[in-house]
Amino acid sequence: MLAREMIGTHPEVKGNINDALIRCIEECYSCAQTCTACADACLAEDMVKELRQCIRLNLDCADICAATGSIATRRTGSNEELIRLTLQACAAACRMCGAECDSHASMHEHCRICAESCRRCEQACQAALQSMAA
């Protein structure tokens, strides 16, 4: 859990670690990787034409998740408003991508796995948002 260790050593964090935000950062990076892999797997399917929206949402979600993980990791200065906004966008992207992948989950195992990852990331973003409101 290097994110926890690194953020815990940050001079402005002073050891006061937000566990919900750490979990969210980890889920964001995991979801970004999963969505990228799902998009690639969709491109390899015979029915690629029917998976265009899934691929598009996979790639959008991967980009938003990676950006959210990066922004949430940076703790210098007062960037909490931006973190909140990116967490909201990430949760929305994960909700949309997860729903799309879920609609293909019975035919494609990679879509089932991706839908689960998106749900975990969406939940982690929501929990991080709640933890920051306190």
Residues 59-99: tens digit of each pLDDT: 999 999 999 999 998 865 567 889 999 999 999 999 999 99
Helix (H) or strand (E) holding 14: none
Q: Is residue 73 part of a domain?
A: yes
CATH number, domain with residue 84: 1.20.1270.360
Does residue 128 form part of some domain?
Answer: yes
Task: Please report whether residue 2 resides in a domain.
Answer: no
What number of other Cβ atoms are within 10 A of residue 132's Cβ?
17
Q: Whole-angstrom Cα distance, residue 95 to residue 91? A: 6
Count up the domains in the chain and report the number. Answer: 1
- Residue 8 inside a domain? The answer is no
Highest mean pLDDT range out of 6-10, 46-50, 79-83? 46-50
On the CB side of 44, CA atoms within 13 Å amount to 9
Give domain status of residue 82, yes or no.
yes
